Structure 1
Amino acid sequence: MEVPGLQLPPHDGSVLAAVDMHTGGEPLRILLAGLPEVRGQSLLEKRRFVRRQLDWVRRLLLLEPRGHRDMYGALLVPSECEQAHLGVLFMHNEGYSTMCGHAVLALARFAVDYGLVKEPQSPETQVNVHCPCGLVTAFVQYAAGRSGRARFLSVPAFAFATDVAVDVPGFGKTIVDIGYGGAFYAFVSADSFGLDVSSSKTRELVDAASAVTKAVSAQVKLHHPDSEDLAFLYGTILTDGKDAYSEEPTANICVFADAQVDRSPTGSGVTARIALQYHKGLIQLNQTRTFKSGTTDSLFTGKAVKETTCGDFKAVIVEVAGHAYYTGTSYFVVENEDALKNGFLLK
């Protein structure tokens, strides 16, 4: 479909092209063109370089006036991993993540549709996505030339600590679990704060989760066997407390980065939550659970598929599945005299 008269407006600065998608309501803006050279031998080195030298790209793409405080993005970069079909750096309102499940589900479909995978196969096409946390293998349903639902197998996921008491200012002593699913999350039942993940006001949920994140970050020292670049708390996930195995969906809401709210059930969060449930003996291998977003009611499924290790941690590989959809394509231009050209974020 051609739009009559559609052309780039006058500009004298950068031009960036992007494809927009969403997975379970959580947006993903994939940069197609306009990214300067990203230096570094490894993906983690590239992440450091972008954070130090090219952060204007993140701000321009994700923040207002072109985006909003809850926009999410992906930069496609060369990978040093021979098996990878693509390397990716994840972006949010505060900086750069190490893993993002909703983005991997979307990028897997994108890779099939945009030719990053040659000769897609039916009924599923394998897509190897190199994330900062490691290589993630995804599979995309493919039939009659159309891509569909995707699933991925996580990096080793593990319970870092359970039943940790933290002093949360404004809320008092709170018991949390900490799990890793490509990124570290704190988990706590929303009813610990008199809240419900599906019916309480989002602002109240955000305030409670943000307070937990701040408290855990200050009081608990995290570490990861592979790299200290991975050893930070990405956010807090409030749950409905239904961790024992059930065929009924269990709901959660993830608040990460700078009070950013995930609209999806959170793919890396599902991974970490499954790892915690398995560690506690609440689920078995290959028992599929359904996870519901407290904000959009969208659904992901997750299951632990095999045991493994990560350093000294007993870990599991988790399969997460969901469906990503396209929402559009965009060209973003910069006028150099625009004082707000690199974006801003309201507090």
Structure 2
Amino acid sequence: MRLSYLDYHTCGEPVRIVTAGYPELTGATILDKRRQAREQHDHLRRAMMLEPRGHAGMYGVIPVKASHHDAAFGVLFTHNEGYSTMCGHATIALGRYAIEHGLVPAVEPVTRFAIEAPCGLVRLACEVNSGKLGTVTFESVPAFVQVRDRVVDVPGLGPITTDIAYGGAFYCILPASRLGLDLFETPVARIVEAAGALTDAVRAGPAITHPTEPDLGFLYGTIVTDEAGRDETSFNLCVFAERQIDRSPTGSGVTARMALDHAKGLIGPSRTRLFRSITGGAFSGRVLGHADYPAPGAVTVAVGGTGHFAGEGVFTIEADDPLGWGFELPARFAEI
């Protein structure tokens, strides 16, 4: 078994795009294809994302045929646990990939096209100067606040107050101080532990529902923020899936944060804010306006950043390799 791939990164967060060797998905919709990938071909995700070829922080893309007539192509997003519904950092890298590999024709100074993600149609604007790709900005699907000031009893932490917002995926969003932590001084491992515990507690409680699509109704992760004011650059750490750390500011997370700040009256339309990640990498966020959508206060958001090419290759999976389809280290030897 052989899988060809291209590696990119956005602010240090990996984007592994499979280019050959993956079977064609035949579902009628993008969510059908996502279910088919999860139920029939998950061994391929594991082989690409997990050790010995990947690691616990790996992220990937499976390009597929779009079902939306406005999309140049469709995409499925993969990580250490499964399949996301939206990924901003990967979308930014996909802008460069699509133009450099001829999936869409390059138009200077800005190339515009759309891709179909599981959360819906995402429109991209890619800066092109003398053939070189610059900033890629995407227009989000409708983003909204699901609940404000939800109090969650978190084992080991007690009652924690968090907001939950949607930017293509659902996130808990709260400053580190609500967890009794300091984003800049607390060891990252403790922040990850607390964020993961909050995510687990919310997932164990009342179900999160999406207003139009049941497959999108789940909590993806927790975003722990600093205490920056409305006009300041803000730092955050996103802990998603199964305690995976996003090296980027998280594009769908920036979308959700902008929707939340807009709902709180902290930022108006056309006001740009910068968000930085644990690597120092930055995304811009700007509320474009209200969205016609069955969720109160829904808005669309423009998120911008830059992707970089990191390498390419072919993975081989030998038939007699007991670890060839990927593995995760167990917590204890008894689990071998």
TM-score (norm 2): 0.96
Matches of 1:343 and 1:223, distance apart in 2: 32
Q: Confirm or deny that 1:50 pairs with 2:32.
A: no
Question: Which amino acid in structure 2 is aligned with residue 99 of structure 1?
Answer: M
Instruction: State which of 309, 312, 320 in structure 2 corresponds to 1:326.
Output: 309
Q: How many percent of aligned residue pairs carry the same amino acid?
A: 47
| Pairing of 1:203-242 with structure 2 (within 5 A) | 203-242=189-228
Q: Confirm whether residue 197 of structure 1 aligns to residue 183 of structure 2.
A: yes
Find the partner of 1:266 among 241, 250, 253: 250
Instruction: Name the structure 2 match of 1:317.
Output: 300
1:242-271: CA deviations, max 9, x gaps?
2x421x310100000011000000000000
Deviation at 1:82, TM superposition (A): 1.4
Partner of 1:291: 275
Secondary structure of 1:152's counterpart equals: strand
Q: Distance in 1 between matches of 2:172 and 2:295?
A: 20
Deviation, structure 1 residue 200: 2.2
1-structure distance, mates of 2:184, 2:41: 38
Equivalent residues of 2:160, 2:179 under 8 A apart: no
8 Å contact 2:276–2:282 — kept in the other structure?
Answer: yes
Q: Any idea what SS the aligned residue of 1:274 has?
A: helix
The corresponding residue for 1:257 is 241
Whether 2:119 is the aligned partner of 1:133: answer yes
Match of 2:18 in 1: 31
Structure 1, unpaired ranges of 5+: 1-13
Letter in 2 for 1:288: T
C-alpha deviation, 1:312, in angstroms: 3.6
Q: Which residue of 2 aligns with 1:5?
A: none
Pairing partner for 1:245 from 230, 253, 273: 230
1:198 is displaced (CA, Å) by 3.1
Match among 277, 283, 305 for residue 288 of structure 2: 305
- Structure 2 distance, partners of 1:199, 1:102, is 26
- Look up the match of 1:11: none
What is the TM-score normalised by the length of structure 1? 0.93
Q: Is the 8 A contact 1:188 1:239 kept in 2?
A: yes
Q: Which residue of 1 aligns with 2:130?
A: 144
| Cα shift at 1:197 | 2.4
Rounded Cα–Cα distance in structure 1 between residues aligned with 2:319 and 2:190:
39
- Number of residue-to-residue matches in the alignment: 330
Q: How large is the Cα RMSD of the aligned pairs? A: 1.0
Letter in 2 for 1:235: G
Structure 2, unpaired ranges of 5+:
331-336
CA distance in 2, matches of 1:184, 1:193: 19
Question: Tell me, what secondary structure is at the counterpart of 1:258?
Answer: coil
Does structure 1 residue 17 correspond to structure 2 residue 4? yes
Confirm or deny: 8 A CA contact 2:144 2:295 kept in the other structure: no
Please say if residues 258 and 286 of structure 2, whose CA atoms lie closer than 8 Å, have aligned partners that are also in contact. Answer: yes
Amino acid paired to 1:245: R
**Contact 1:188–1:237 under 8 Å retained in 2:** yes
Q: Matches of 1:217 and 1:284 in 2, distance apart?
A: 31
Write the distance in 2 (CA, Å) between the matches of 1:162 and 1:52: 34
Q: Counterpart amino acid of 1:186?
A: C
Q: CA deviation at 1:188?
A: 1.4
Structure 1 residues 198, 110: CA separation in 2 closer, same or farther (over 3 Å shift)? farther
Following the alignment from structure 1 to structure 2, what is the Cα–Cα distance between the partners of residues 304 and 173?
A: 32
Q: CA deviation at 1:220?
A: 3.3
| Correspondent of 2:97 among 92, 110, 117 | 110
Q: Any conservation in 2 of the 1:111–1:127 contact (CA below 8 Å)?
A: no
Residues 108 and 129 of structure 1 are in contact (CA less than 8 Å); yes or no, is this contact kept in structure 2?
no
Cα shift readout 1:259-308 (whole Å, capped 9, x = no counterpart): 10000000000000000000010111111100011x21111110101111
| Residues 198 and 251, structure 1, Cα contact 8 Å, conserved in 2 | no
Match of 2:46 in 1: 59
CA drift of 1:86 comes to: 1.3
Letter in 1 for 2:312: T
